[in-house]
């Protein structure tokens, strides 16, 4: 596992998102109203909608294409729909405001 700095907390508005590319995977970074930050693959499992363009409500993001709801902490799609997106552990350095993401070793190449 590799931990890398990817953003600063001030880069993301509350209920906002930012994206970055990791190899062939686009990752969406979301900041929730409670201040927590979550990283998920930026692709809805239904039709590939860009989750970073969706609306955040509580701890879910609504896919902008067909309103599928994805739980940002687990990556699971809300019933009655089914599916899951990849999630990546994040942490915020409280003293500097830096946001770190932990990636599988192979993905970080």
Domain count within the chain:
1
> pTM for this one?
0.86
CATH number at residue 6: 2.102.10.10
Domain that holds residue 101: 2-108
Can you say whether residue 18 is alpha, beta or left, with left for phi > 0 and alpha for psi between -120 and 50 degrees? beta
Residue-wise pLDDT for 52-65, tens only, equals: 999 999 999 999 99
Residue-wise pLDDT for 40-99, tens only, equals: 999 999 988 999 999 999 999 999 999 999 999 999 999 999 999 999 999 999 999 999
Residues 6+ apart with CB under 8 A from 96: 8
């Amino acid at each position: 596992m590799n931990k890398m700095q990817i953003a600063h907390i001030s880069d993301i508005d509350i209920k906002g998102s930012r994206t970055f590319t990791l190899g062939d995977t686009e990752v969406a970074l979301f900041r929730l109203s409670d201040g927590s930050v979550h990283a998920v693959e930026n692709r809805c499992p239904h039709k590939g909608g860009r989750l970073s363009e969706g609306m955040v409500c509580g701890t879910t993001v609504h896919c902008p294409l067909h309103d599928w709801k994805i739980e940002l902490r687990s990556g699971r799609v809300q019933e009655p729909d089914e599916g899951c997106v990849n999630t990546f552990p994040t942490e915020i350095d409280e003293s500097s405001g830096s946001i770190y993401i932990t990636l599988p070793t192979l993905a970080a190449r």
